[in-house]
Structure 1
Amino acid sequence: MAADPVSGDFTRMLDATMQALGAVSAPAAGADGEPAEPPAGEAADGQVRAELGPDGRLRSLWVEPRLMRLGSEELTEHITTAVNAAIDAMRGATTPPQAGDLSQLREQLAEVRDSAVPRLGSFLAALTEAQDRLARGGPR
């Protein structure tokens, strides 16, 4: 039996949706295909470094131990500068931070595609057959 155009369209739609979800939930990659560096910012000539996680929250903060001799006001200014630079780097990135893990949704869509689409095709074929029988004047 030939593939039904409706179920074929449905399959293509689900495949496109799964591909889009895969692109959204995949880790961001740099130009060379390697995972992109997390957004980070520096201050005090690299002596303070802030790194953000994929959710946009502060992942790590590194301060050169010698800077601990500074007064708390000056040290916190450097930290604030580094964190703000990391936020600016995140905002300037081409890929926004991920809202969450979409792998479970992707798996569910794959399951729908693999199980529901064949059933939908069978259902549509049965409807078409019933319609043909009715058009010929009743059950046969």
Structure 2
Amino acid sequence: MAYGEAADGRVRVELADDGRLSDLYLDPRVAYLPLEELREALFDAFDMAQDTLRDQTDQDTSRYAAGAAPDRLQAVLAEASDTADRRFAEVSTVLYDLSRRAARPW
């Protein structure tokens, strides 16, 4: 969750971890704000919440990335790719055999 506020706390925004709006609080006193000031406050609160969410994401990413050795990650990805290639080849062979059998008169 990330929060942002503006207009002395009269406008508050809460964003979920996926960046979607999860809550919006408007103090009743915002009804007396000029429309342009309310608009700016909404943008400021959203910007603050998005910046907070981006900072949290960057921290999480850097924390996980620090523990991953690029060489080890590359080796694991290469192995996974090879395994996937073998499995796709097996599936392709089975599908080819099935299509040949289906075309054969009994």
TM-score, L = length of structure 2 = 0.52
Query: 2:72 corresponds to which residue?
Result: none
SS in 1 for 2:23: strand
Query: 1:51 corresponds to which residue?
Result: 14
Using the aligned pairs only, state the percent identity: 44
For these two proteins, the number of residue pairs brought into alignment is 59
Equivalent position amino acid for 2:60 in 1: T
Q: Is the 8 A contact 2:17 2:53 kept in 1?
A: no
Q: Distance in 2 between matches of 1:41 and 1:83?
A: 6
Query: 1:71 corresponds to which residue?
Result: 34
Q: Distance in 2 between matches of 1:72 and 1:39?
A: 25
Greater share of helix residues, 1 or 2? 2
Runs of 4+ in 1 over 2 A off after TM superposition: none
Higher relative contact order (CA 8 A, sep 6+): 1
Query: 2:60 corresponds to which residue?
Result: 95
Equivalent position amino acid for 2:19 in 1: G
Q: Distance in 2 between matches of 1:62 and 1:76?
A: 14
Superposed CA RMSD in Å reads: 1.3
Q: Distance in 2 between matches of 1:95 and 1:54?
A: 12
Q: Distance in 2 between matches of 1:51 and 1:68?
A: 20
TM-score, L = length of structure 1 = 0.40
Greater share of strand residues, 1 or 2? 2
